[in-house]
């Protein structure tokens, strides 16, 4: 399976152009896996539209985020620096001849789970269930401590408002008051992380070894780590998955409800004592996921 690494700071439309060109040449060049870090982009679908927008489109675009309609399944999602987006381009065959699109999506989930577990998140998993419109839930989820996730409509780091709601562990100061203008005055995450607590309680080696401080007061919640949205054209797959590595999540969640779900999202950076480099994550995807996905390719 060929790997096409487009690098970082790629405009979403340029990634789409590469994807479509690769689809057109699949029978000459074979299956491929395109890896990209997009510029800040929020994608919508024909099915979902902008129903999950919290901010007006003009405000989103003024915040430096492109808004693009994508020809894939699923709902609104985001792409940007620190997130690995992958497009497996495979010939599944026509649905009229028994092409198993649902099976392919589940295989994609399983491959991502294997990647994430290999990177050090043993709770990674897909989940059963349906969304508010009755569609199957897709993606990869994991268990996370409350301050390592961001819920919908979170404000940028640096806001001084403390969220004392019972649904969030009071370990961070990332929530905004109503009417916040979404101005990010802090380039770094100021919240005290559980990792920092581990270092203070047990020494620096505790955090570096991945040990997490836990107590009965620490809230655990399910959080989405990777989103999946695929399409099929002429029996060939398009789009794929987006895995949050070190994504500035609040840049997007203050504007949208990701995937149209009232759930938390997280990243490897928030889950692990040491954030893997994008190079490491790409290597895991190529070594672990690509061989599993290549088995779904059918030659004409």
Q: Can you tell me the distance from the alpha carbon of 67 to that of 41, in angstroms, rounded to the nearest whole number? A: 6
Answer for the pair 66, 41: CB distance below 8 angstroms, yes or no.
Answer: yes
Q: Phi and psi of 253, rounded to 5°?
A: -70, -15
HEC profile of the chain: CEEEECCCCECHHHHHHHHHHHHHCHHHHCCEEEEECECCEEEECCCCCCCCECCCHHHHHHCCCEEEECCCCCCCEEECCCEEEEEEECECCCHHHCCCHHHHHHHHHHHHHHHHHHCCCCCCECCCCECCCCCECCCEEEEEEHHHCECCCCCCCCCCCCCCCCCCCCCCCCCCCCCCCCCCCCCCCCCCCHHHHHHHHHCHHHHHCCCCCCCCCCCEEEEEEEEEEEEEECCEEEEEEEEECCCCCHHHHCCECHHHCCCEECCHHHHCCCCCCHHHHHHHHHHHHHHHHHCCCCCC
Q: Is 142 designated active site?
A: no
Answer for the pair 32, 3: CB distance below 8 angstroms, yes or no.
Answer: yes
Q: Can you tell me the distance from the alpha carbon of 57 to that of 291, in angstroms, rounded to the nearest whole number? A: 39
Q: Which of 99, 142, 152, 259 is catalytic?
A: 259
> Active-site residues: which are they?
259
């Amino acid at each position: 399976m060929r790997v096409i690494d487009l690098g970082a700071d790629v405009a979403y439309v340029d990634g789409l152009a590469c994807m479509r060109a690769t689809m057109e040449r699949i029978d000459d060049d074979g299956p491929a896996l395109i890896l990209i870090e997009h510029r800040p982009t929020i994608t919508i679908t024909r099915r979902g539209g902008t129903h999950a927008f919290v901010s007006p489109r003009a405000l989103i675009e003024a915040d430096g985020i492109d808004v693009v309609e994508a020809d894939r399944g699923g709902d609104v999602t985001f792409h940007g620096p620190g997130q690995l987006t992958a497009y497996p381009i495979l010939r599944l065959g026509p649905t009229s001849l028994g092409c198993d699109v649902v099976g392919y999506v589940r295989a994609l989930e399983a491959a991502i789970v294997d990647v994430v577990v290999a990177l050090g998140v043993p709770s990674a998993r897909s989940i059963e269930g349906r969304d508010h419109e009755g569609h199957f839930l897709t993606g990869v989820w994991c268990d996370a401590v409350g301050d390592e996730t961001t819920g919908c409509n979170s404000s940028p780091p640096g806001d001084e408002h403390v969220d004392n709601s019972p649904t969030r562990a009071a370990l961070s100061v990332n929530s905004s008051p109503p009417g916040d203008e979404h101005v990010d005055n802090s380039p770094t995450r100021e919240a005290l992380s559980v990792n920092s607590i581990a270092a203070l309680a047990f020494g620096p080696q505790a955090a570096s070894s991945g040990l997490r401080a836990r107590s009965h007061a620490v809230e655990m919640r399910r959080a989405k780590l990777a989103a999946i949205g695929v399409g099929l054209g002429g029996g060939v797959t398009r789009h794929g998955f987006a895995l949050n590595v070190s994504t500035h999540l609040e840049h997007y969640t203050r504007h949208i409800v990701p995937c149209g779900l009232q759930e938390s999202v997280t990243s490897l950076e928030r889950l692990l004592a040491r954030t893997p480099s994008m190079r490491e994550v790409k290597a895991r995807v190529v070594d672990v996921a690509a061989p599993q996905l290549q088995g779904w390719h059918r030659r004409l």
